[in-house]
Structure 1
Amino acid sequence: MWRVAAAQMNSTSDKERNLRVARALAVLAAREGAQVVAFPELFNWRGPSEQEREMAEPLDGPTLSTMAALAREHHLFILAGSILESLPGEERAFNTSVLLNPAGERIATYRKIHLFDVDVEGVGSLRESATRKPGQEVVVDSERGLFGLSVCYDLRFPELYRELTRRGARIHFVPSAFTLMTGKDHWKPLLRARAIENQVYIVAPAQIGKGVSGPANYGHAMILDPWGNILAGAQDREGILVVADLDLGYLEKVRRELPALEHRRL
């Protein structure tokens, strides 16, 4: 049994403020008996795209050092939802999700593969690829092979989650900052679909509300079981956690009684 917490935040362009919120939520997760706490996409900083290169950090920078210390202090697995990762010689940053174990060690590093580039009438253009570089690798944690990583827009590409499942991941993380416009219609159906078709648990921390720039975010952080049931869902507030117990025995029961993954022909 894994007790998992998913955070709902409204991150700003103030890194110190965002990390204070994350620290408080990690402490709360530990107090609730969670073994894992997951934060949303860009939990440490959200601001104007022209500042992204300046605000990006290496993996050994202050944000992940802070989160590693929290993992050690509270004996938690921490999904640092995503940060903008700088690499030497790269003009664009990666949108990178990192999973830390209770020793503060990085056991998974995933760079978001699918970038959100859209033109919406009446809203305008959003071009993640203008300032961010896509990743290439599908990532399951190196310690247990239990956790699969993805980020936000990846949710629309089911083949990624099928590959995570094929590699053995039974708990899939989806840290996100879904827009209000798409989230109100698509967030829950997409999460339920990924859980049902792969017979896995989905942990989906989320950004909520209006940030410094860009469209408002939908929020509704949630945790789903392999049948597609919502085990825990957030209200329309920031700075909160949803917590659920994930029973891997139940996952195996679902797969045994409805062995759809064994029936695949393609």
Structure 2
Amino acid sequence: MNALPTPPLAALVQMTSGIDPATNLGTIDRAMAEAAAGGAVMAFLPEMSLLIDRDRARSAAHIARETDNAWLSALQGLAQKHRIWLHTGSIALLADDGKRRVNRSHVIAADGDIRARYDKIHMFDVTLPSGENWQESAAYAGGDMIVVVATPLGQLGLSICYDLRFPELYRALVDRGATLIAIPAAFTVSTGEAHWHVLMRARAIETGCHVLAAAQCGQHDDGRQTYGHSLAVDPWGVVLADAGGDMEGGDYTLTLVPITGGAANSARQAIPLDRSRANRNIDF
């Protein structure tokens, strides 16, 4: 009897990124080495993987346009070094007009080539019941492109953190062929406790996609605290892995997750949402 093919592995890297990109890059290097040794074909980093710093004046020294950004080049080098694909989570870059920043994801192939870019569309402009106030649009410009890219794990739809709350984006990703979705994040503790797991499972169920969400976790140098719980969810809504909310004294947590290629088709055949949409008598 022929053995079934082994599903490819994704590696979720949970971090507590700080205000020094060089330190964060060293953490990423070690995490990618472990991921490659464990057989992963692609590693996923959290939002703002190379730099988390609410002090805009202090962080400005590390923010440049993509063409001038040495940290992105370093990430390309790590993909080549470890011979695995890399989803960078996101990094802060200066917009081309030089006025504001962008929160940008990159998908980098194992040869170091950048295969896709995505700028976070939805800005986190909120005042939470906890009293936390966040106004991303004061420093960041939102993106305007919907991106799906071919990877060794399947057709990957790109999104970042607060995008999670806008299901119409994920419908558009599926319409463009996505079979799995990346949602790197730096969720606050209060919103994470209330909404993280249920929203991740909802996005997986309603799209029939794997959801891969690498997250920031713990107490950061700039004073913020993030929720953690990097998640992998299958297209039926089953949580395949949860990295938890405690870094246990380390600077990263690695979670390896098998991605079963036929799972998306199976979920979509069982709950045929596209057919139901086509047969309804009303357009929303």
Taking structure 1 as the reference length, the TM-score comes to 0.95
Asked if 2 retains the 8 angstrom alpha-carbon contact of 1:53 and 1:86, the reply is no
1:176-187 map, 5 Å:
176-187=185-196
In the alignment, structure 1 residue 2 sits paired with structure 2 residue 8: yes
Runs of 5+ unmatched residues, structure 1: none
Which of 57, 65, 68 aligns to 1:58? It is: 65
Q: Deviations over 1:176-198 (max 9, x none)?
A: 00000100110000000000000
Q: 1:41 aligns with which of 47, 72, 79?
A: 47
Q: Alpha-carbon deviation of 1:73?
A: 2.0
Q: Which amino acid counterpart does residue 207 of structure 1 have in structure 2? A: Q
How many angstroms does 1:59 deviate by?
2.6
3-state secondary structure, aligned to 1:263: helix
Q: For residues 237 and 72 of structure 2, what CA distance do their matches in structure 1 show? A: 32
The unaligned stretches of length 5 or more in structure 2 are: 1-6
Task: Pick one of 212, 229, 232 that aligns with 1:203.
Answer: 212
Report deviation, 1:114.
Answer: 0.3
Using the TM superposition, give the Cα deviation of residue 102 of structure 1 relative to its aligned residue in structure 2, in angstroms: 1.1
What's the TM-score, normalizing by structure 2?
0.89
Alignment pair present for 1:249 and 2:257: no
Counterpart among 132, 136, 149 of residue 141 in structure 1: 149
Question: Percent identity of the aligned residues?
Answer: 36
Whether the aligned pair in 1 keeps the contact of 2:91 and 2:104 (CA below 8 Å) is: yes
The one-letter code of the counterpart of 1:27 is A
1:69-148 residue pairs with structure 2 within 5 A? 69-121=77-129, 123-141=131-149, 146-148=155-157
* Structure having the higher Rg: 2
Aligned-partner Cα distance in 2 for 1:136–1:250 = 30
Q: Is the 8 A contact 1:80 1:97 kept in 2?
A: yes
Within the candidate set 223, 239, 260, 2:273 is matched to: 260
Q: What SS is found at the alignment partner of 1:47?
A: coil
Deviations 1:220-261 (A, max 9, x none): 001110011111110321401111111121221222222123
Q: Structure 1 residues 251 and 72, CA, compared in 2 at 3 Å: closer, same or farther?
A: same
| Partners of 1:177 and 1:112 in 2: CA distance | 13
Per-residue CA deviation, residues 28-52 of structure 1 (Å, 9 max, x unaligned), is 1101100010000001001134234
Report the more deviating stretch, 206-215 or 74-83: 206-215
Cα RMSD, aligned residues only = 1.7
Q: What is the CA distance between 1:210 and its match in structure 2?
A: 1.9
Following TM superposition, by how much is the alpha carbon of 1:142 offset from its aligned partner in structure 2, in angstroms?
5.8
Q: Deviations over 1:144-188 (max 9, x none)?
A: 870111000000000011100110011100000000010011000
| Number of equivalenced pairs | 266
Residue range with higher mean Cα deviation, 140-149 or 221-230: 140-149
- Which amino acid counterpart does residue 106 of structure 1 have in structure 2? I
Three-state SS of the structure 1 residue aligned to 2:89 is strand
Structure 1 stretches (4+) deviating beyond 6 angstroms? none
Change (3 A) 1:260 1:89: closer
> Which residue identity lines up with residue 26 of structure 2 in the other structure?
R
Please give the alpha-carbon distance, in whole angstroms, between the structure 2 residues aligned to 1:57 and 1:149. Answer: 22
Other structure's SS at 1:95 match: strand
Inter-partner Cα distance in structure 1 for 2:8 and 2:79: 16
Q: CA deviation at 1:90?
A: 2.2
